[in-house]
Amino acid sequence: MRRFISITLALNLLLSLTACFGPPVDPDTVQESIQVIAMDTAMLISTYGKRSTAAAYASEDLIRDLEAQLSRTEEDSEVSRLNAADGRPTEVGPDLAALLTAAEEYRADTGGAFDITVAPVVSAWGFTEDSFRVPAQAELETLLEKVDGSAVRVERTAGGCTAALAPGQSADLGGIAKGYAADKLADLFREYEIPRAIATLGGNVLAWGDRPDGTAWRVGVQDPARPDEQNGFVGILNLKNSFAVTSGGYQRYFEEDGRTYHHIIDPATGYPADSDLTSVTVVAEVLPPDAEQLYGPGTMCDALSTALFVMGREQALNFWTSRKNAFDLVLVTKDGEIYVTGGIAEDFVFDEESGYAYPVLVK
């Protein structure tokens, strides 16, 4: 296991200087950062406060533990055992049970645009093992017969939980697991009394509290046309105590015969979603702790960012209108438009140099 902790050098220096000469530095303004390569992405977690070091280490342990349970490429993960069981119930821990329950909620809610049983199709395109290919139509049609998240069963028993898929099905939690991890990080930050933190788990961001100077965290919304540019943003979201999750076809893709194929699959066709969107960002506030809730807004943002990308602009905005208070959106379309929904109108700062049309405010 690789651990990589860094305290900002300047702050280190400041600490040692003030130890001799000045007033003590407020620990709520000292940052601890840990980088974790997990869940197929690079993660960076920065914590502040008296227990920031312990919280950073605990964050890494939490993510590694989740990955060990949920990875579908590690043979003895819980998910791999579930996928190999060919329809028989297997024992699952509370995390996988919660995720399967959440996945079903969002599948039903999005009319099947989000469906974890799309796994065999994702694999056929080579996104699971990085061995990209374009599957034949007949192959996709056969695989699609097994795609139906409503067949997944989760049962709470006296000793714990069991879960079962339908025979021949498998599940892929890649579209929801990082959001769930972000929810668990929020619980951890609360437990460690972390006053402020920023966690970037690939496209999943948790902006916890505010910045040391009391202003909001600044979360860039990547310009899908410039995926490799570090500061290639369409705009910045100013966020406190919020989750922000972006899905886009630009994040993982391959090219063949002049066509681009990305990793978000439309469960209705078996093809990469061919909507009029290039990215979807879903934003929701951190909620107070609730022991009854198995998963929270981070999980919701992740599932919905994937689903709304599949659904396309019109359906995504209708979906938002019917559930306005639960989350907000930044949509980027193929023809260069940006849509921002009412709840974050004040928080989104458009980059006028980005080449996009001025954002359309959706009320």
By CB under 6 A, name the binding residues for ligand ADP: 114-116, 118, 122, 127, 172, 174-175, 202-203, 247, 251-252, 263-265, 267, 302, 305-306, 310
Query: Minimum Å distance from CB 152 to Mg ion?
Result: 18
Burial 214-250 (b: 16+ CB within 10 A, else e): eebbebbbbbbbebeeeeebbbbbbbbbbbbbbbbbb
- Name which of 209, 220, 214 is nearest 246 in CA terms: 220
270 is an interface residue for Mg ion by CB under 5 A: no
Q: Which is nearer to Mg ion, 175 or 209 (CB)?
A: 175
Q: Which is nearer to ligand ADP, 238 or 275 (CB)?
A: 275
* Separation between Cα atoms, residue 177 and residue 162, nearest integer Å: 19
Q: Which two tokens stand for residue 320?
A: 């938002």
Q: Which two tokens stand for residue 80?
A: 């791999």
**Residue 118 binds which entry of ligand ADP, Mg ion, none, with Cβ cut-offs from 5 to 8 Å by kind?**
ligand ADP
* Separation between Cα atoms, residue 336 and residue 225, nearest integer Å: 10
Q: Which two tokens stand for residue 211?
A: 């910045």
328 is an interface residue for Mg ion by CB under 5 A: no
Give the interface segment with Mg ion, choosing from 150-158, 252-260, 300-308, 312-320 (CB under 5 A). 300-308
Q: Which is nearer to ligand ADP, 58 or 119 (CB)?
A: 119
Query: Minimum Å distance from CB 147 to ligand ADP?
Result: 9
- Contacts with Mg ion: how many residues (CB under 5 A)? 4
- Beta-strand runs (E) in 53-173: 90-92, 153-157, 160-164
Q: Which is nearer to ligand ADP, 60 or 115 (CB)?
A: 115
**Residue 124 binds which entry of Mg ion, ligand ADP, none, with Cβ cut-offs from 5 to 8 Å by kind?**
none
Query: Minimum Å distance from CB 97 to ligand ADP?
Result: 18
Among 302, 331, 344, 359, binds Mg ion (CB under 5 A): 302
Query: Minimum Å distance from CB 199 to ligand ADP?
Result: 14
Burial 8-38 (b: 16+ CB within 10 A, else e): eeeeeeeeeeeeeeeeeeeeeebbbbbbbeb
Query: Minimum Å distance from CB 137 to Mg ion?
Result: 26
**Residue 265 binds which entry of ligand ADP, Mg ion, none, with Cβ cut-offs from 5 to 8 Å by kind?**
ligand ADP
305 is an interface residue for Mg ion by CB under 5 A: yes
Using a 10 angstrom Cβ sphere, with 0-12 exposed, 13-18 middle and 19 or more buried, the burial of residue 144 is middle
- Beta-strand runs (E) in the chain: 5-7, 31-38, 41-48, 90-92, 153-157, 160-164, 197-201, 204-208, 217-222, 233-239, 242-248, 253-256, 259-262, 277-285, 328-333, 338-341, 348-350, 360-362
Q: Which is nearer to ligand ADP, 116 or 338 (CB)?
A: 116
175 is an interface residue for Mg ion by CB under 5 A: yes
- Name which of 173, 176, 182, 329 is nearest 243 in CA terms: 182
Query: Minimum Å distance from CB 251 to ligand ADP?
Result: 4
**Residue 114 binds which entry of Mg ion, ligand ADP, none, with Cβ cut-offs from 5 to 8 Å by kind?**
ligand ADP
Chain CA centroid to CA 112, Å: 18
Q: Which is nearer to ligand ADP, 58 or 264 (CB)?
A: 264
The CA dihedral of 337, 338, 341, 345, to the nearest 10 degrees, is -130
Q: Which is nearer to ligand ADP, 120 or 175 (CB)?
A: 175
Q: Which is nearer to ligand ADP, 174 or 298 (CB)?
A: 174
- At 255, phi and psi to the nearest 5? -120, 140
354 is an interface residue for Mg ion by CB under 5 A: no
- Applying CB under 5 A, which residues contact Mg ion? 175, 302, 305-306
